[in-house]
Amino acid sequence: MIDRLPVTKAVATMLAAASGKPVGRGSIPLGVEPPYYLLTVISTNVSGAPLADESEDLSVVYQVTSVTGPAPSTAGSYAVADQAEWLADKARQAFLGRDPVTGQWLYPITLPGVKAYGRSLDTEPGGSRDDSDAIIDNVQRFRVDLTRA
């Protein structure tokens, strides 16, 4: 069986490296001002070969919440909403981006003995869009499918 905690840590590391922004796992990153990401596990499913029934495959849906802070007063009301969209774009690139020549993920999820063979955007319901909000967020859910290497 593939343990979920190392996968979640690897996903958080991948998202932080790809975006250059802090990632909090289930809570706000300590001592960090927006912009940042919140990474939350939504669901987990284990499966595997039907005869061996060793649950050697793992599928996890992660919610990625892009959190932005207030814009400088000279930036205009759309600056925070634009920043939320930019963060959402960076998250999609991190999870779904592939090298056009090799087909390999641009930002690998690195775990010994485990291969991430599938990634997809599960849903993107959006988020807060009131430009008067001090904080605006955008919510995306990504599915990551893994197997024993």
pLDDT in tens, the chain (149 residues): 889 999 999 999 999 999 999 999 989 998 988 899 999 999 998 886 655 666 689 999 999 999 887 655 555 556 777 888 899 999 999 999 999 999 999 999 999 999 999 999 988 766 655 555 556 778 899 999 999 88
User: Sign (positive/negative) of CA torsion 63, 12, 133, 121?
Assistant: negative
Q: In terms of pTM, does the model score above 0.75? A: yes
Structure tokens at 144: 């990551």
In this prediction, residue 33 carries a pLDDT of: 87
β pairing state of 36-47 and 114-126? unpaired
Phi-psi region of 50 (alpha: psi -120 to 50; beta: other; left: phi over 0): alpha
Look up residue 107 and give its DSSP letter. Answer: S
CA dihedral of residues 93, 16, 45, 138 (deg, nearest 10) = -60
Domains (range + CATH), the chain: 4-148 (3.30.2000.30)
Distance CA 36, CA 67 (A): 5
| CA-based max dimension of the chain | 64
